[in-house]
Structure 1
Amino acid sequence: MNPVLRGLAANPSMPSELIDRLIALGDRDIAEILARRADLGHAQAVALAASVEESVPWLAYEGRLTAADIDPATQPDGALDLLTEGHARSPEWARLFADDPVIEHREKLAACPGLPADVVERLAADPDVRVVAELALWTTPRTAARLASHPHAAVRRAVAANEATPPDVLAAVLTGEGLPPARRCPVCDREETPFVHDPHCPRLDCDLPPGAACDGSHESTRHDTELAALSNPATPTEAVVGFVDHPSLLLRWALAARPDLPPDVCARLAEDLNPGVRGDLAENPALDDALIRALATDRDHEVRRRLAHNPRVPLDVLTHLAGTTRIGATLLPRIASASPDEVEELAASPDPAARMLTAQRRDLAPAVRDALADDSDAKVVKSIAPHPSLTDSRLSSMLDRYGSQVAARVAANPDASPALLEAIARHEPAARKALREIARHRHASAPALLACLQDPRARPLAAAHAALPQAVIEELLTDADAEMAEAAAANPSLPPGVMSDLVSGL
């Protein structure tokens, strides 16, 4: 598709009559963009649905269509999309699709909310297990409980993933206690058992996952069921703790992320040989102080980095981690929840790592904010630079003191003035990341944006900026780079007459 038309379809200044002309093109790519326009009228949505059937899911998701706009007999996918989004709770539609010969239609129906009881019964007895499994994944507690004893293991796996499944039922599905054994699974439906699927299977029509296996006990589907139940927050704690020493890495990994773990289970997972398990555990708010301090000395960098994101990490441990671990420019949960007294203490710390962490907050008291802005450590200044309400003079002082080290972060400050952004754009040596920040900044002026056009990654951002001179925008419409042409066409400063000419000429 012509990139200029894609850009025009996204242009917020596009006149309504030109939107109509783009709808008439019947192009799928254009329709996907148009369907998400905030100013798309109801009549236009109906026209778009008629022109490009694939646009109905996007329109349904955006709430642009009603049941009166769709004929389920001729637009089944559209009708199902409306049912899925809850915009058409029509019992007649549901009953129509419950008997649809197309399996995919019944499967999609099974995921819809608010289905009539008789439709649920028909779907639960569907001859295709994929339909029943989809119902089990989304259905109500009562139906999920009933399907937990379904003879097919794939249905039980879906019940295990459904957060509406009652806790006692989830425990039974996880342990198998109190349920009759499953009789079939996706593997023995297709192959003679015992069977282990070759990870390098050459068959083009084979949809079994690598390693899928069944020796009569449906082991791979059983494993998937256990993984789903362990990942389900509704599964009772007492049912999951027994998996702490399970030989399956995936099961231990899923267990480590649960916030309901008792201390002894956390302690055993902290000794797991796999750093991925320890990393998920490190972020878990279930950890006590002693275990947090133990994990702070973990040999794996990623485990220590994840620990810094734990909302319960003590501030002294967090400060230590910041000095020895690359955490990144982010507001950590423990810093976000720090009290005013803790913030003042951290901001006055002799350790620049503590001051740097505090500088990531964007709600600092003016005195604390200004003190961090005047800090003698470039990393602290870099962290505080995007803080709103910093004065231009302070931002300029940062740039004078540290230059390219802080230029991008200063440019990211929402209150940076056009003059300051121009100064950053002219800075030598050029700060490439700063140019990208300028190109998306609401205060960027034409001179600053023209400088941004010299950077490959900043160019598309600048091309779409409303402050770019009109002549430059029009010139970029014919740029050899399709991304540039599309960005220029999406520029809200593009005159309506030029837009009309572009639509007429393409």
Structure 2
Amino acid sequence: MSDEVVMSLLTRALQSGDEYLAAAVHPAVLPTQRQSLEKLLFATSRGKRQLAAAPYAPASLLEALASDDDPKVRIRVARNPSTPARALGRLAGGDASTALLSAIAAHKNAEPAILAVMQGMESPDIRAALCGNPKTPLKTLRALLPAATLAERKILAGNPNADAAMLRDLWDSGDIYVRAEVAAHPAAGPGLMDEAKRSLDPLVRRMLAANPAVTQDTLVALLSDPEAAVRAAAVRHLAPDDHAPERLASDPSSTVRRAEARHFTLPASAAARLAGDRDHWVRRWLARNPGTPDFVLRRLASDPESEVRRGVGRNRSCAVDLLRELAQDPVPWVRAGVALREDAPVDILHRLGEQSDIDVISAVGRNARTPPSILERIVRHENADVRRAVILNKRAPRSALEAVLEDPYPLNRALLARHPSLSFADLETMLRDPEPQVRFTAADALVKRPRPN
């Protein structure tokens, strides 16, 4: 950003009284200049409360609002996912209510040191938040365990900071649902995983099969589990050498066959069998699998289900000649899938860009490979969603975007303000937009973009 741009925005915000411009420029100015902006932004209780909850509120403003006298403002700051750690520390150090502390205890940006001092609090909401926060240190989690309810133990068992010793305590003192969470935890260790494998409850065995640290030997053993959900979970994590494709491709459960159709090392014989599966979801997953052999994809390209054919068109392994066939499919949704591919030949994009179906031309408009001449035509479409497709195309040149600088739909203008192809002059023009969110987005983009030489 340039000092000239910042000072221009600061002056414009103060002279016009525009709160949205003031919010956008607040992080970029000096502390003394922020005070002037805060007089404008914090003039009313209603305005402060709205700003404290706004998802677009910059961290600098949330820090300032963390010291506000209004408890409704502070609680909204604590619940705002963008609130930085320093502001949360300030909130926790003041006269904090249980609701405020609960929000801090659950916040993803809360520092471990802040969370550690809350461990002795009696509030169920605070305890539950601490149990589930991945920032809560292990020492604090252990301190919460002795008095934890079953519901809290289940949350503790899913915390990534839990270690093997703590998970053992949870397994020994928990119900089926706690044990299921323990079985899924990467830190469970061989002993607990072996007990989970022998569990009589299918939920525990299914969660074990989904554990990223489970051994391949265990997964192979779970392939013979009587419960289809367990077998399907095991299939998803099987390594190539431990695969049993012929048996799995003929499994009586469609859930297992669907998982098999997604496996990244599916042999040709199993793929051929699954291509004729009666369950269309099996064929859909197979059509999207980049490991599916070419001869199977060609068979699926003629499938009676349009979603299967679309899957083939979206598959990165689909051959160009097959793409050309699918680009002429009678169902527009299939053709739209082809139009989204950035490796689609330009002549296909030209042909699809001339069609009338909204899904098809929107897909062409989103495609980064679409030539500017086509984008310039699509962006003038009467449908706002079609025009937005071009706006969301990060490779769209300014020549294609000029037509939507004054788009009648405010959301399109707000999204347009983020586009890298707009000039500084374009963004400065958008500062006068009647829609507040457009003005904020344009100002924010000006602040964050380097000024060209």
TM range (shorter): 0.5 to 0.7
2:326 corresponds to 1:321: yes
Counterpart amino acid of residue 83 in structure 2? R
What's the counterpart of residue 223 of structure 1?
228
2:119 corresponds to 1:56: no
Which structure has more helix as a fraction of its residues?
2
Structure 2 CA distance for aligned equivalents of residues 68 and 450 of structure 1: 44
What's the counterpart of residue 43 of structure 1?
89
Structure 2 CA distance for aligned equivalents of residues 154 and 169 of structure 1: 16
Instruction: Give the C-alpha shift of residue 43 in structure 1.
Output: 2.7
Structure 2 CA distance for aligned equivalents of residues 386 and 238 of structure 1: 37
Structure 1 CA distance for aligned equivalents of residues 182 and 91 of structure 2: 30
Q: 1:242 aligns with which of 244, 247, 253?
A: 247
- How many residues of Structure 1 are paired with residues of Structure 2 in the alignment? 380
Structure 2 CA distance for aligned equivalents of residues 440 and 250 of structure 1: 40
Q: Deviations along 1:310-350, whole A, 9 cap, x unmatched? A: 121111112221232535767989x55x6xxxx8xx34xxx
Secondary structure of 2:270 counterpart: helix
Structure 2 CA distance for aligned equivalents of residues 8 and 275 of structure 1: 48
2:68 corresponds to 1:73: no
Q: 1:87 aligns with which of 123, 131, 135?
A: 135
Counterpart amino acid of residue 62 in structure 1? N
Q: Deviations along 1:456-494, whole A, 9 cap, x unmatched? A: xxx6743644559xxxxxxxxxxxxxxxxxxxxxx999x
2:116 corresponds to 1:140: no
What's the counterpart of residue 224 of structure 2?
175
Which residues of 2 match residues 345-364 of structure 1 at below 5 A?
346-347=345-346, 352-353=347-348
Q: Deviations along 1:180-212, whole A, 9 cap, x unmatched? A: xxxxxxxxxxxxxxxxxxxxxxxxxxxxxxxxx
Query: Do the aligned partners of residues 407 and 467 (structure 1) sit closer, same or farther apart at CA in structure 2, a change above 3 Å counting?
Result: same
Structure 1 CA distance for aligned equivalents of residues 61 and 95 of structure 2: 20
Secondary structure of 2:170 counterpart: helix
Secondary structure of 1:66 counterpart: helix
What's the counterpart of residue 143 of structure 2?
96
**TM-score under structure 2 normalisation?**
0.67
Q: 1:404 aligns with which of 372, 381, 397?
A: 381
What's the counterpart of residue 415 of structure 2?
440
Contact 2:275 2:300 in 1 (8 A): yes
Counterpart amino acid of residue 268 in structure 2? P
Structure 2 CA distance for aligned equivalents of residues 22 and 439 of structure 1: 33
Structure 2 CA distance for aligned equivalents of residues 50 and 234 of structure 1: 51
Counterpart amino acid of residue 43 in structure 1? G
Secondary structure of 1:264 counterpart: helix
Which residues of 2 match residues 172-211 of structure 1 at below 5 A?
172-176=221-225
Contact 2:288 2:311 in 1 (8 A): yes
Structure 1 CA distance for aligned equivalents of residues 95 and 250 of structure 2: 54
Q: Deviations along 1:399-457, whole A, 9 cap, x unmatched? A: 47984277545555668899986754568xx6x5xx53323222555766877x6xxxx
**TM-score under structure 1 normalisation?**
0.61
Query: Do the aligned partners of residues 117 and 288 (structure 1) sit closer, same or farther apart at CA in structure 2, a change above 3 Å counting?
Result: closer
Structure 1 CA distance for aligned equivalents of residues 118 and 223 of structure 2: 43
Instruction: Give the C-alpha shift of residue 153 in structure 1.
Output: 3.4
Query: Do the aligned partners of residues 419 and 237 (structure 1) sit closer, same or farther apart at CA in structure 2, a change above 3 Å counting?
Result: closer
Unaligned runs of 5+ in 2: 1-44, 448-453
Which residues of 2 match residues 82-481 of structure 1 at below 5 A?
84-91=132-139, 93-138=140-185, 139-142=187-190, 143-176=192-225, 222-233=227-238, 237-239=242-244, 241-324=246-329, 326-327=333-334, 346-347=345-346, 352-353=347-348, 383=364, 399=376, 403-404=380-381, 408=388, 411-412=391-392, 423-424=403-404, 432=409, 436-442=411-417, 443=422, 461-462=437-438, 464-466=440-442
Contact 1:257 1:284 in 2 (8 A): yes
Structure 1 CA distance for aligned equivalents of residues 254 and 395 of structure 2: 48
Secondary structure of 2:67 counterpart: helix
| Highest RCO, 1 vs 2 (Cα 8 Å, sep ≥ 6) | 1
Query: Do the aligned partners of residues 416 and 402 (structure 1) sit closer, same or farther apart at CA in structure 2, a change above 3 Å counting?
Result: closer
Secondary structure of 1:251 counterpart: helix
Q: 1:6 aligns with which of 34, 50, 55?
A: 50
Identity of aligned residues (%): 22
Counterpart amino acid of residue 158 in structure 1? M
Structure 1 CA distance for aligned equivalents of residues 295 and 395 of structure 2: 43
